[in-house]
């Protein structure tokens, strides 16, 4: 082989290598992956390139009875693992930002500023939140099908919402809702009783749904404010979009469900007539949900079904590895909160008879934090209820402590 032929062959090989590298990078870019994103317990290897830095300034608007407690736990874990600051409500506001009042920066605990993450209940006020958060903050929220959500609201708040308390049953309430409903009922009553999603997002829950101009403007306003509106019924698909939007890894979006009702407290199904009445009563929420459910599927379609299917496969594969690493051959057992003796793991119970499920601490996880293994800490945090996790992070932040994950 002549020298010129050897040189040409070398150039051809270099071109082939370059094309191969480009194809690999293209595949990773299409999936939004980095080398470490396939393992739920991976440690970053800084010798490998990352396509985009992770988004660390995020507002997750926590809405009522939508699966938002599961998302809040996910946000807490991300903040803790990356040593970020979560903005917490001041003491007088409890665990919400003085809800149902419209959000104001005065409602934030000063010891939890400047903030990277907001993830507690509030009545959304975009102008006020923007005063608090960096300019590159990404805004996210979650919605749930309104009839299913309203049934859950009625069951959960039956004894604490005066409007619901007056009605002998959900069926009786829906037969004549105006007989019980008072728009200005104190103590959050009217908030729970009609168009709660609209109210949480800063809208007028009592605006007639026939006011097409108002509905159009409100939907446009929510569209401008939020980069992603998740849908509870399509939680994993929503996480596909979330992960790509924030450039997070799969281990950042793993979860176990939080704050669910026990099976015995749920209706197995809703009569068609009852569901229709609930949707008509919450018609603003229905228009909100339908709009963003369609938007979610347009975004997924833009990615392509093959790519979405692969993302879901990888997500669920990572989820299975997480369960195996945390609990081994044991299946994670849901237990009634009343059966959980460890108060650090017992979900909050309100004054209703509705019971909430939680998780017992598996034997292979250290509760006192003595283990240095990140896996064990992650497993514990996964099953820590929202109020206890809030207390842990708030106390650490206000005392100047650092995350044990870093």
pLDDT tens-digit map of 170-228: 999 999 999 999 988 766 678 999 999 999 999 999 999 899 999 999 999 999 999 99
> Domain for residue 7, yes or no?
no
Look up tokens 């104001």; give the residue.
104
Total domain count, the chain: 1
> Domain for residue 212, yes or no?
yes
Q: Is the peptide bond before 100 cis (omega within 30 degrees of 0)?
A: yes
> Domain for residue 369, yes or no?
no
> Domain for residue 85, yes or no?
yes
The DSSP string of 159-206 is TT-HHHHHSSSHHHHHHSHHHH--TT-TTTHHHHHS-HHHHHTT--TT
What does the alpha-carbon distance between residue 278 and residue 170 come to, in Å, rounded to a whole number? 10
> Domain for residue 350, yes or no?
no
Identify the residue with better confidence: 356 or 179. 179
> Domain for residue 353, yes or no?
no
Quickly state the pLDDT bin for 253 (edges 50, 70, 90): very high
What does the alpha-carbon distance between residue 301 and residue 308 come to, in Å, rounded to a whole number? 8
pLDDT-wise least confident of 93-107, 233-247, 355-369, 386-400? 355-369
3-class DSSP assignment, residue 65: coil
For the packed helices 386-398 and 68-81, what is the interaxial angle rounded to 10 degrees?
30
Q: Please report how many Cα atoms fall inside a 13 Å half-sphere around the Cα of residue 284, on the Cβ side.
A: 26
> Domain for residue 361, yes or no?
no
Residues whose CB is less than 8 angstroms from the CB of residue 356 and which lie 6 or more positions away in sequence, other chains included: 259, 260, 261, 262, 336, 337, 347, 348, 349
Alpha helices for 304-385 (secondary structure H): 305-327, 374-382
Residue 344 has pLDDT above 90, yes or no: no
Q: What is the pTM of this model?
A: 0.83
Identify the residue with better confidence: 267 or 11. 267
What does the alpha-carbon distance between residue 96 and residue 115 come to, in Å, rounded to a whole number? 16
Alpha helices for 82-161 (secondary structure H): 126-132, 146-156
Kindly report the number of other CB atoms within 10 A of residue 293's CB atom: 16
What mean pLDDT value characterizes the chain? 83
> Domain for residue 124, yes or no?
yes
Residue 361 has pLDDT above 80, yes or no: no
> Which range of residues forms the domain containing residue 227?
50-160+191-330+387-395
What does the alpha-carbon distance between residue 280 and residue 402 come to, in Å, rounded to a whole number? 49
CATH number of 243's domain? 3.40.50
What does the alpha-carbon distance between residue 235 and residue 67 come to, in Å, rounded to a whole number? 9
């Amino acid at each position: 082989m002549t020298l010129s032929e050897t040189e040409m062959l070398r150039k051809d090989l270099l071109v082939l290598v370059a094309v191969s590298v480009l194809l690999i990078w293209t595949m990773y870019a299409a999936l939004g992956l980095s080398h470490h994103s396939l393992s739920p317990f991976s440690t970053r290897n800084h010798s490998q390139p990352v396509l985009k830095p992770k988004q660390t300034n995020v507002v997750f608007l926590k809405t009522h009875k939508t699966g938002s407690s599961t998302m809040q736990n996910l946000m807490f874990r991300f903040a803790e693992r990356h040593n970020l600051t979560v903005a917490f409500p001041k003491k007088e506001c409890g665990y919400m930002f003085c809800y149902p009042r419209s959000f104001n920066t005065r409602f934030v605990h000063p010891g939890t500023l400047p903030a990277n993450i907001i993830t507690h209940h509030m009545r959304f006020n975009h102008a006020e939140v923007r005063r608090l958060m960096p300019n590159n903050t990404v805004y996210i929220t979650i919605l749930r099908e309104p009839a299913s959500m309203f049934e859950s609201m009625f069951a959960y708040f039956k004894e604490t919402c005066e409007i619901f308390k007056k009605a002998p049953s959900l069926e009786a309430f829906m037969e004549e809702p105006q007989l019980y409903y008072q728009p200005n009922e104190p103590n959050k009553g009217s908030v729970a009783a009609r168009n709660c999603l609209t109210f949480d997002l800063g809208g007028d829950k009592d605006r007639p749904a026939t006011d097409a101009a108002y509905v159009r403007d409100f939907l446009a306003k929510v569209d401008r404010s939020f980069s992603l509106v998740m849908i509870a019924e399509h939680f994993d698909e929503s996480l596909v979009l979330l992960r790509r939007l924030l450039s997070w890894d799969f281990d950042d979006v793993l979860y176990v469900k939080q704050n669910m009702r026990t099976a015995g407290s749920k209706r197995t199904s809703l009569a068609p007539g009852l569901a229709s009445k609930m949707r008509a009563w919450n018609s603003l929420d229905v228009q909100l949900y339908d709009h963003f459910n369609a938007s979610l599927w347009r975004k997924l379609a833009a990615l392509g079904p093959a790519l979405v299917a692969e993302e879901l496969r990888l997500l669920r594969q990572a989820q299975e590895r997480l369960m195996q690493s945390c609990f081994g051959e044991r299946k994670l057992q849901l237990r009634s909160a009343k059966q959980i003796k460890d108060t650090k793991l017992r979900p909050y119970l309100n004054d209703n008879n509705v019971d909430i499920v939680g998780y017992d601490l598996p034997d292979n996880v250290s509760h006192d934090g003595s283990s240095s293994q990140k896996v064990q800490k992650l497993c514990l945090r996964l099953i820590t209820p929202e109020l206890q996790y809030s207390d842990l992070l708030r106390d650490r932040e206000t005392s100047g402590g650092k995350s044990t994950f870093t």
